[in-house]
């Protein structure tokens, strides 16, 4: 069963070299185990999803340019996530702020080909459907 994702959940990007913590703004006004609960729309770059250290995706123009300048040697550049679409899939029955809750099984895609996933939802007791 997927767990409800809350403020401070650990995230990982397939092209980043560091983990990041999800930021959930208090606008949903719903708390789980003392933390703000997330929904599928908590996907905004630099608001909800912070950088993941250094990006190594050749789809990222900064990485491609740095790699070309280094004569083809992969050169990671600072991560600036570009997450234009919501987390998917959302919970089918649990709503947070009138939108599907964010469960630990969901992923979010970065425009630079990265797949962002939840590694620790920060809520152990609350399961969602």
123 vs 120: CA distance, rounded Å: 8
> What's the pTM?
0.91
For the chain, how are helix, strand and coil distributed in percent, rounded to 5?
10, 30, 60
Say whether the peptide bond before residue 89 is cis (omega within 30 degrees of 0): yes
* pLDDT tens profile 5-59: 999 999 999 999 999 999 999 877 777 777 899 999 999 999 999 999 999 999 9
In the three-class reduction of DSSP (H, G, I as helix; E, B as strand; rest coil), residue 128 is classed as coil
More confident: 99 or 124: 99
Where along the chain do its domains lie? 10-120
Distance CA 117, CA 14 (A): 8
């Amino acid at each position: 069963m997927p767990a409800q994702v809350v403020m401070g959940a650990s995230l990982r990007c397939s092209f980043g070299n560091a983990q990041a913590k999800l930021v959930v703004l208090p606008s949903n006004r719903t708390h789980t185990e003392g933390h703000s609960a997330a929904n599928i729309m908590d996907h905004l770059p630099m608001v909800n999803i912070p950088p993941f250290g250094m990006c190594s995706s050749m789809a990222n123009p900064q990485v491609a340019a740095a790699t070309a300048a280094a004569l083809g040697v992969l050169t990671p550049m600072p991560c600036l996530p570009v997450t234009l679409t919501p987390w998917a899939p959302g919970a089918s029955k649990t709503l947070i702020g009138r939108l599907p809750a964010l469960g630990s099984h969901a992923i979010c895609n970065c425009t630079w080909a990265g797949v962002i996933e939840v590694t620790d939802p920060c809520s152990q007791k609350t399961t969602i459907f």
